[in-house]
Structure 1
Amino acid sequence: MSQINNPVIGFSEDDARRLHHPYDDALVVSLQIGDYNMHRVLVDNGSSADILYYPAFQQMRIDRERLTPTNAPLVGFGGTKVFPLGAITVAVTTGDYPQQITKEVTFLVVDCSSAYNVILGRPTLNSWKAITSTYHLMIKFLTEYGVGELRGNQIAAQECYIAMLEMEDQQQTMCIGKQRALAEPVEEPEEVRLDDRRPERTTKIGTLASWLVRQTITTFLRDNQDVFAWSHKDMPGIDPLVMVHKLNVSPSFPPIRQKKRVFAQERDKAIAEEVRKLLEAGFIREVYYPDWLANVIIVKKANGNWRMCVDFTDLNKACPKDSYPLPWIYLGGFNCKTPTPKLYGSFLRLQPDQDGQI
């Protein structure tokens, strides 16, 4: 009888079977907060407060006058202090019916940059008597009808990771710019034309060298102007005779066509523009044998532009020994940043041929 009233909460390997290994993603979930389905909720056992970021607060259309003043600052990892705009109490529902709970949660509303909408800290996790597992990316908690569970979203976690990296890059650049003066050039560069028939093809050389040295450099550059990439079309890639990347697709794995997603008008325009640029550059081509079909994913950059990615979750499941076990494949792209060990720069569409070559 005691086991029925107090069931034991446990995790098994079956709970982690849906995940893509290896990974070290954060636990990012979706919750019903008030009358809204709130995505990008970070579950943080190290946070002593439940935080609602101001942009999400505004989208919930809650009157700012309902905020309760608070004087307690939040202290960050580096010792920085952030003063909340106030506190708001709303109902939060988690889990699937009937194994779900609804409780009032008091959030501190914070006005600062973040890729997350909400941070769920220890106060709420303790009130739910919730157990979290970062390995299983799951929360389990007790309800009147047994053990409820809430699974994390790996794709959302990785999107937030990229967005946070870009925010940190911008902040780092701003700090460096305030602390150091810009280096002044030691000489005025001279613009030289490499092809008289194409006046737009120019480059610059220094002027401190003697006239004879500059003439020698200019002649050398003109003789080797074929090494310059004047447009994306001048970067055809690596000859397949030199190197070919072949996907290690398991022959026993059936091809999967993901269901078509519907995007808002703004995202549709961003996708169309990115595809147009890739087609003009010759980086992609239209195919007529969609055995594998993966949806495009649009991620908002910190500068307001869009980054086009592709969800290769299903394809990676069929590649157990692929060099890129995450649900993305890196191809480079326009204005892409230096790849990081966590995620790999910009992610563009990869369409394998019938024999598995790209």
Structure 2
Amino acid sequence: MVDNGSVVNLLQLSVIQKMGLESTIIRRAEVLTGFNGHTSTAIDHITLDVKTPPVVSKQTFTIVSDPSPYNGILGRPSLIKLDAVTSVKYQKIRFRIPGGGVGEIKSDQQLQQVDREDGAQADKIGWKPEEDAEDIILDPQQPEKTAKIGSRLSPDEKEELTIFLRKNRDIFAWSPSDMPGIDPKVACHKLHVDPTAKPVI
């Protein structure tokens, strides 16, 4: 799938496993947040040769293991590297061929129909973003101060991320009084009212 709005290229862990490359990755916790607030856990990054005939380019993918109807997503990094232009209306991608000429990739209409059916099935299940997150207490002395982490992380990843967040809990701002050093030029609340107007009671 091609997604002009994605700031990363994504690849499913199952694809890496089928390619026999799982032993080359180092598992680590990194949280990605989508447009709708859905969080995904990035496992690692991998650079692969991607063939868009006749061009072969090296593309870096973020590896995820969350359920998805797509094996991978080509985001803006790939489109920029390929110097590509997409057309939603014509379901095509065109890209510059070094040395002259324009390459073209057409969509698979039958595959799109399968994707739509998978998406409709996912809607019936009723996925909720909050089901993929759980609260952790950052400060035992102030249990009301919490943060959310992915519930699908492994126990080791949860422990590592929790320790990191607790160690750096001082960077969180819980109220305006926690940010006394911010220059008003950066953030300042103003009421744009006529100073000569009398208040109405």
Task: Tell me whether the two structures share a fold, i.e. TM-score over 0.5.
Answer: yes
Greater strand fraction, Structure 1 or Structure 2: 2
What does 1:136-147 correspond to in 2, within 5 Å? 136-143=90-97, 144-147=99-102
Structure-2 residue corresponding to 1:75: 33
Matching of residue 60 in structure 1 with residue 14 in structure 2: no
Q: What SS does structure 1 have at the residue aligned with 2:48? A: strand
Matching of residue 49 in structure 1 with residue 3 in structure 2: no
Structure-1 residue corresponding to 2:46: 88
Which structure ranks higher in relative contact order (CA pairs < 8 Å, sequence separation ≥ 6)?
A: 2
1:85 & 1:128 partners in 2: Cα distance?
25
Q: TM-score, normalization: structure 1?
A: 0.34
2:11 & 2:31 partners in 1: Cα distance?
14
2:87 & 2:19 partners in 1: Cα distance?
29
The one-character-per-residue Cα deviations of 1:223-276 (angstroms, maximum 9, x if unpaired) are xxxxxxxxxxxxxxxxxxxxxxxxxxxxxxxxxxxxxxxxxxxxxxxxxxxxxx
What does 1:1-358 correspond to in 2, within 5 Å? 42-62=1-21, 64-68=22-26, 72-95=30-53, 100-143=54-97, 144-172=99-127
Aligned residues: 129
Instruction: Name the aligned partner's letter for residue 170 of structure 1.
Output: I
1:116 & 1:127 partners in 2: Cα distance?
21
1:68 & 1:145 partners in 2: Cα distance?
39
* CA positional deviation for 1:113: 0.9
2:8 & 2:52 partners in 1: Cα distance?
18
2:49 & 2:127 partners in 1: Cα distance?
37
Instruction: Name the aligned partner's letter for residue 81 of structure 2.
Output: S
Contact 1:114 1:164 in 2 (8 A): no
Structure 1 unaligned blocks of 5 or more? 1-41, 177-358
The one-character-per-residue Cα deviations of 1:130-169 (angstroms, maximum 9, x if unpaired) are 0100111111111124111111111111111101221232
Contact 1:90 1:104 in 2 (8 A): yes
Q: TM-score, normalization: structure 2?
A: 0.59
The one-character-per-residue Cα deviations of 1:29-56 (angstroms, maximum 9, x if unpaired) are xxxxxxxxxxxxx100000000001222
2:78 & 2:26 partners in 1: Cα distance?
18
Q: What SS does structure 2 have at the residue aligned with 1:84? A: strand
Q: What SS does structure 1 have at the residue aligned with 2:42? A: coil
Q: What SS does structure 1 have at the residue aligned with 2:117? A: helix
Contact 1:69 1:87 in 2 (8 A): no
Contact 2:41 2:66 in 1 (8 A): no
Structure 2 unaligned blocks of 5 or more? 132-201
Cα distance 1:60–1:171, how it changes in 2: closer, same or farther (>3 A)? Answer: farther
The one-character-per-residue Cα deviations of 1:84-113 (angstroms, maximum 9, x if unpaired) are 111111100103xxxx21111111111011
**Whose radius of gyration is greater, 1 or 2?**
1
2:57 & 2:122 partners in 1: Cα distance?
33
Structure-2 residue corresponding to 1:343: none
